[in-house]
Amino acid sequence: MGGRLGPLYAGIDWSENLNDLSVIDQRGQVIATARVAETPDGVREILKTLSGLKSSHQHSRRRVPIAIETEHGLLVAALRQAGQPVVVVPPLVVAAYRGRAGAAKSKSDKADAALLADILRTDGHNHRPLPQNSDLAYAIRSLARAQVKANRTRQFHLLRLRSQLRLVHPAALAAWGHLPGGIARGEAREVIAAAPTSRSAARLSKRRLYDLLAAGGRTRNLDDHAARLFTEFRLPVLKQSLLLEEAMGEDVRVSVSLLNAATDHAEHLAGLAVQAFDRHPQADIYRSFPGVGRLTGPRLLAELGDAPDRFATARGLRGYAGASPLTWTSSSSRLVFHRRRGANSHLKSAGHHWAFSAIGRSPGARDHYDRRRAAGDRHTAALRHTFGRLLTCLHHCLAKNEHYREDAAWPHSAGD
């Protein structure tokens, strides 16, 4: 193994137990293999294998890219911390390459590791290493995504509670249905937990309702709301049999408890994400944009990262976010798709909320949205196009380290 080998490429077939490593040369010949565990010793063995491939003083293991099918996991984190370039090749892409060497699409861990390395050898220019984001950016991404998951869990328990109350305590749905948040309000959860059925709610006194509302966080008009609930809970409603209602009431209490926990987790994670975002040097640029609220900024930075060379053009950023269409042309047919399978779904969702908020705060964004609607776009399409324009502005501001300016972002709106 001398300097004649030229460039080297590595692939790791990842699994929960053992990971197969294959290294190939520029001719596609496998020159080294290893099977390691996801442990410190396993990482050291990978780095040792890469370091010992050449005797030339010009060789460096850090010049050997490693292809793997996931960007998560402790193994990837350890390789990144060691300064090793890691290239993520999605499993669907690997599956498309699998039949290239022969008609039989056989699969084995060792063969997949070599296949991943060969993808870098032949088509490495189409795959980029993981971006060199800062640790703070990765921390914000972890917290922001965890908060989104907690919020979805909260929504699941809220819908489940609503379905249960329809069967055992319909008055509770009507009691808070006209207020923001409905039964998700702290006061509603407090009262429902104390009286989860129609019969138990009808037995609550005004004083007890007053105390429950106060414990749930209500501070204004306590007497009026207690009196209103006292009256509404005593109106005639359909009821389950006594034994069945009591059993279903216990299930309601469990749902309220789970909803409380999910709400607390979502709020706690939101606070941590905002605190981490506030420490980031680009936070002020994000917050200068219209519609970027308390959580929108952290969610955007979480998915965009802070690697300065990640997105060379605004067009690439829009494609990554699913904010630009994908054109399929063949012969005389031409189709335009707006659902990009390769888009970042987290960023796409955050962008929808961002654009919706921006059209209420930015005259230029509102004018652009109205123009798209007048041109025939539906609401979602107009929001997506507005999101794309906002991303273009954000790409410029981050590259130039400038804050958002309404007149520069929408130069033609004021004169129309």
Q: Write the single-letter amino acid at 293.
A: G
- Does pLDDT of 372 surpass 50? yes
Tokens, residue 331: 């012969």
Task: Give the single-character DSSP code of 321.
Answer: T
pLDDT of residue 339: 54
- Does pLDDT of 107 surpass 80? no
How confident is residue 52, by pLDDT bands cut at 50, 70 and 90? confident
Superfamily of domain covering 3-126? ATPase, nucleotide binding domain (3.30.420.40)
Vertex 45 angle, CA 42 and 46, to 5°: 90
Question: In this predicted model, what pLDDT tens digit does every residue of 219-247 receive, in sequence order?
Answer: 999 999 999 999 999 999 999 999 999 99
Question: In this predicted model, what pLDDT tens digit does every residue of 316-344 receive, in sequence order?
Answer: 899 899 887 666 666 666 555 555 566 88
pLDDT of residue 47: 94
Nearest to 130 by CA among 142, 118, 138: 138
CA 276/CA 302 separation, integer angstroms: 11
- Does pLDDT of 97 surpass 50? yes
pLDDT of residue 103: 57
Mean pLDDT of 265-281: 97
For residue 371, give every residue at least 6 positions away whose Cβ sits within 8 Å of its Cβ, in sequence order, or none. Answer: none
pLDDT of residue 327: 62
pLDDT of residue 335: 57
CA 33/CA 110 separation, integer angstroms: 8
| Cβ atoms of 26 and 118 closer than 8 Å | no
Q: Write the single-letter amino acid at 300.
A: L
Residue for token digits 């936070």? 283
- Long-range CB contact pairs, 18-22, < 8 A, 24+: 18/109, 19/75, 20/109, 20/110, 20/112, 20/113, 21/46, 21/49, 21/113, 22/110, 22/113, 22/114, 22/116, 22/117
Residue for token digits 């399978």? 341
| Cβ atoms of 121 and 26 closer than 8 Å | yes
| Cβ atoms of 129 and 84 closer than 8 Å | no
| Domain range annotation of the chain | 3-126, 138-276, 283-409
Question: In this predicted model, what pLDDT tens digit does every residue of 396-414 receive, in sequence order?
Answer: 999 999 999 999 999 876 4
| Cβ atoms of 358 and 289 closer than 8 Å | yes
pLDDT of residue 415: 45
Mean pLDDT of 74-91: 92
Question: In this predicted model, what pLDDT tens digit does every residue of 168-223 receive, in sequence order?
Answer: 999 999 999 999 999 999 999 999 999 999 999 999 999 999 999 999 999 999 99
pLDDT of residue 58: 58
pLDDT of residue 1: 40
Rg for the chain, CA atoms, rounded: 28
For residue 159, give every residue at least 6 positions away whose Cβ sits within 8 Å of its Cβ, in sequence order, or none. Answer: none
| CA distance readout (Å), 284 to 288, 294, 397 | 6, 12, 11
